[in-house]
Structure 1
């Protein structure tokens, strides 16, 4: 644990990088708070500005231990750039480097193994239009078949092809991922996807007939959301509140 508290990079990196570190550390703490973490596994990454460098969690560190300073900066080849003595998860590098390599519109990528997303991803029909949350995800959703632990770099091309230009992905037998132009966008997209999966499973477990949503409503919900947020994305509107929540609950994350 000493390596986690010794580093303090606030005055050693650019203002832009430090803010990205703070927001990403907050995201890790919020994911842990929501119960979406998986011990030391799974990962969230954020690109630094328009560079080809991104931040990711050190392997072996729990999400509720992540701070702005112990995040690891790497390049697209996986080289550690900030002198960190902490390693990164090889599977995390495979998935996140694949997406950052081709999706230059995506600042943040969140990949998690929540039970709800694994269950729905592994159903033959996948995510169904059963709730308002599902509509947000269905407007930009893809699937990527399970290939075992993501340590084979050859998988990156198949992952890129399956993802294409979507912002939500379900991975059968594995989990889910979301991406966005900001950390807040990626977080809120995962929130919507997680809620959609939880609600679908609850409805299916109830054994009761489900009221269908008319197709023209399904087609219009995503556009309606843009009107509600007055030209901003849900992540941009909600993230300041989430950041305040992280500061109240976890005042040490921004060190």
Structure 2
């Protein structure tokens, strides 16, 4: 049974964000200490991010760093954060006030698909979530800057485009809740895994539904439930709780 929608408080925001780090680590989607997940502050022009240097599995709500959109540390003042994380996330939060959570990951499958000229192909039901809903950003530097690349990325994101494929780099996934961002991330990862099983040289020969069918599938999928991603989020939260209980036993 799906529980009621999670009510946002400062405490629940930190708790859900920390849980997102741990669930993604459990699924093997993390990349050492190099990627980042964030959540907008409830009332202030700030956001939460993990300290630079922690593995995702090490992140809990007590260690999350609060910072403002200019890059000033709010608490703790002596924390170390990934500057690329600040550049990406602050630009998105400033440009898109409806966005509450942003995930930036480097999974091998998503990087491989980002390097394909066609990007994500409409060849699986997972991919239909994103039909005509993905932006692309060409690789131009190891370090991204808020005033240049950050703003360019943020300007591609809108209500119909919550996903950015960073060519040769990774992905950015945005959501109105942590649960929604995770929902998109889950299906994006599955779509990329499936696409990686196929021969890219034969892409034109794959069976694909018509544009109209893909658009209808996308509408059906995204309107299937009221709180997008909540049911799956609660299921993975239970899975994480069972894993923690097993490790303690």
- TM-score normalised over the length of structure 1: 0.86
State the alpha-carbon separation in 1 of the partners of residues 12 and 222 from structure 2: 26
From 38, 42, 49, the counterpart of 2:35: 42
Deviations 1:148-187 (A, max 9, x none): 1234332222112233441011110100111101101101
Q: CA RMSD in A?
A: 2.0
The whole-number CA distance in structure 1 between the counterparts of 2:132 and 2:14 is: 30
Identify which of 230, 238, 248 aligns with 1:244: 238
Runs of 4+ residues deviating >6 angstroms: 205-208
Q: Report how many residues are paired.
A: 235
1:228 maps to 2:221 = no
Gaps of 5+ in 2: 1-7
Gaps of 5+ in 1: 1-14
In the other structure, the counterpart of 2:208 is 212
How far has the Cα of 1:17 moved from its partner? 1.2
Contact 2:153 2:164 in 1 (8 A): no
Q: The residue matched to 1:241 in structure 2 has which SS?
A: helix
Q: Which residue does 2:154 correspond to in 1?
A: 160
Q: What is the correspondence of 1:74-223 to structure 2 with a 5 Å cutoff?
A: 74-153=67-146, 154-165=148-159, 166-204=161-199, 209-223=205-219
Between 134-143 and 120-129, report the one with greater CA deviation: 134-143
1:84 Cα offset (Å): 5.0
Farther off after superposition, 193-202 or 157-166: 157-166
| Residue of 31, 43, 52 corresponding to 2:45 | 52
Please tell me whether the aligned partners of residues 131 and 215 of structure 2 are also in contact (alpha carbons under 8 angstroms). no
Contact preservation (8 Å) 1:43, 1:111? yes
CA shift, 1:139, in A, is 4.2
Shift of 1:227: 4.4
2: CA distance, partners of 1:35 / 1:68: 20
